Amino acid sequence: MMSPEGPEGQGWEELRQELLRSELETLYHVSQVLSRSLDMKATLTELLRVLDEGVGLEKGMVSLLEPDSGGLLVTAVHGMGTLLADDVRYHPGEGVVGMVMSEGEQVVIPRLAEEPRFLDRLGLYDKKLPLIGVPIRVARQVVGVVVAQPMAGADALLEEYAHFMEMVANLVGQTVRLARDVAREKQVLTEERDTLRRTVRGQYGFDNIIGHTQAMRRVFDQARQVAKWNTTVLIRGETGTGKELIANAIHYNSPRARGAFVKLNCASLPENLLESELFGHEKGAFTGAVNQRKGRFEQADGGTLFLDEIGEVSGAFQAKLLRVLQEGELERVGGIRTIKVDVRIIAATHRDLETDVEQGRFREDLYYRLNVMPITIPPLRDRLEDVPDIARHLVVRIGQHQGRDVSLTDNALRVLMHHDWPGNVRELENCLERAAVMSDNGIIDRDAILLTGIDERVSLGRSTAQEFNLEDPNLDERERVIAALEQAGWVQAKAARLLNMTPRQIAYRIQTLNIKVKQL
């Protein structure tokens, strides 16, 4: 640190040169301090200490602008012992600090006691000594003030001190701008993250899965309950029933929702690739392994791994999978290091695993490891009451994909209600998408549905048709004829009597209405 007193006879110019050398070294240390952290309070407190040790600015204070209040909050103080300066603020034009802010110019006070605007709120400065205040700018905006008091005997060097503090304030301004940019970007990312989480929860929430039948309500109740815990879940159901939707809902409504949801269809890969895909591999483990690669288990660490079609894996691979489920550890293909993973497993299958266990196709120990919490999704034919709501939901989504309004008529819905949907919801979605494609005006009617290839012979199953009142005004002529034929076991003479027609009349109706006759 520079001493204000030089050897006897030393001129002030020599003192000035000594100060300049000290300032240069101090600026280097200032830049180091400002580059370490964006914690402004800690960084600026350390900055003031460096100014004291480097050039003798013994007592200092930095105030930064609060955008909300428009005032200056005392952010860092040096030279006042243990006295706290929390919540000390200056408004524009208030005191020396407020004057520097409002005028945007440096202030040099040769003797503080002679300055009437000095408020002495901190009880920090010696009134017999000078005081220097300089603005901190970001671009042209004043965002703060640095105030410091040189040590005794430095009165003749106030101009040099003021110039030096301007340079320090410029560096502080750059740091403030960086800190604000980072805070702004962090806020944007936080808002995007929260928005994404809300969107994901809305998209994969239980309320987004359509089903009002008792069987589906039971599925939702089970899924909501098990979502709270890390319990392994086995989702059972035919292909196309929506097993992945339930798995998504369980994950995104669980404590692991912040973690990854990783999916793998076990039936889509051969065994050698399945092992690498799930467990990862080391570089050079096999031909083509040019880099180390994390497997799905590692990717899902802290989250959930959804193993679809788990019943399709081979017996040899089942043993490898069992070890990971039991021990929570694995080795990459070609590796020797044991890797611990924390993964929640949700598996799904359309197979009868109990029969597979009895016939030796599926390991019994793996079956019990997976079947901790079974959830069975009923096929669509067992919950036809849900078809209208599901169909309307799918039509809206199809319309969004096609960029137009798509709607569904009541006549079309009645045809959909009378099909047994062996392909479940997936078949229903494909049917509606084909019908929308063939509809120029976006209105899916009965004819558009029939053009998709729906087999009309099963459009009205016998048990369903028997429930129909043939006098129901909501039935159109075609549906009424089909219902009568179903009730009559497709004997045209009987159907004619039910409709008060002659056999010739019903034969004509069958021909003109393009009804395919079912042969029993």
Structure-block tokens of residue 272: 């050698």
Q: So what's the pLDDT on residue 468? A: 63
Are the CB atoms for 75 and 40 separated by under 8 Å?
yes
**Nearest one of 154, 173, 172 to 162, comparing CA atoms:** 154
Instruction: Read off φ and ψ for residue 495, nearest 5 degrees.
Output: -65, -40
Asked whether 299 and 310 are in contact (CB, 8 A), the reply is no
Distance (Å, whole) CA 281 – CA 337: 11
Find out whether 261 and 276 touch, Cβ atoms under 8 Å: no
Tokens 């240390």 belong to 29
Q: What is the DSSP letter of 516?
A: P
Report the distance separating Cα 419 and Cα 289, nearest Å. Answer: 49
Q: What is the pLDDT at residue 9? A: 43
Q: Tell me if 372 sits within 8 A of 326, measured CB to CB.
A: no
Q: Could you tell me if 272 and 325 are in contact, meaning their C-beta atoms sit under 8 angstroms apart?
A: no
Domains and CATH numbers, the chain: 12-182 (3.30.450.40), 206-378 (3.40.50.300), 381-454 (1.10.8.60), 471-520 (1.10.10.60)
Residues paired with residue 131 on neighbouring β-strands, in sequence order: 109
Half-sphere exposure of 325 (CA within 13 A, CB side): 23
Q: Which amino acid is at 19?
A: L
What residue ranges in 268-423 does DSSP mark as E strands? Answer: 280-281, 293-294, 304-308, 329-330, 339-340, 344-349, 373-376, 407-408
What pLDDT was estimated at residue 81?
56
* CB contact burial 430-439 (16+ within 10 A = b; e otherwise): ebbbbbbeeb
How far from 203 is each of 75, 206, 253, 418, CA to CA, in Å? Answer: 44, 9, 11, 29
Q: Name the packing angle between helices 387-402 and 424-437 (round to 10°).
A: 50
- What are the C-alpha distances in Å from 382 to residues 32, 134, 385? 71, 79, 9
Terminal alpha carbon distance of the chain: 108
Q: How far apart are CA 390 and CA 442, in angstroms?
A: 18
Q: DSSP strand E in 283-360: where?
A: 293-294, 304-308, 329-330, 339-340, 344-349
- The gap from C-alpha 351 to its chain's centroid, in whole angstroms, comes to 33
Residues 6+ apart with CB under 8 A from 330: 279, 295, 297, 323, 324, 338, 339, 341
Tokens matching residue 121: 């709120």
Residue type, 69: S
Mean pLDDT split into 10-residue runs, the chain, 520 residues: 46 76 88 88 92 90 87 86 65 89 91 88 88 92 92 82 92 91 87 73 70 89 94 95 93 91 91 87 78 91 95 91 91 88 96 94 95 95 90 93 93 87 93 93 90 63 52 78 84 88 88 73
> Would you state the structure tokens that stand for residue 152, as one six-digit string?
């005794």
Pairing of strands 89-90, 72-78: antiparallel
DSSP letter at 513 equals T
Which residues on neighbouring strands pair with residue 319, listed in sequence order?
A: none
Please tell me the pTM assigned to this model: 0.60
How many angstroms separate the CA atoms of 429 and 235, rounded? 21
Q: Look up residue 159 and give its two tokens.
A: 């101009």
pLDDT of residue 520: 53
Q: What are the backbone dihedrals phi and psi of residue 78, each rounded to the nearest 5 degrees, phi first?
A: -135, 135
Report, in this order, helix, strand and coil percent for the chain, each rounded to 5.
Answer: 50, 15, 35
CB half-sphere exposure, 135, CA atoms < 13 A = 19
Q: Note the pLDDT of residue 151.
A: 84
What is residue 422's DSSP assignment?
Answer: T
State the Cα–Cα distance between residues 128 and 496, nearest whole angstrom: 118
Q: What is the pLDDT of residue 11?
A: 64
In the sheet that holds 373-376, the strands lie side by side as: 261-265, 304-308, 344-349, 233-236, 373-376
Q: Residue with structure tokens 């005004």?
A: 473
Q: Which residues contact 16 (CB under 8 A, 6 or more apart)?
A: 157, 160
Model pLDDT, residue 414: 85
Q: Which residues contact 352 (CB under 8 A, 6 or more apart)?
A: none
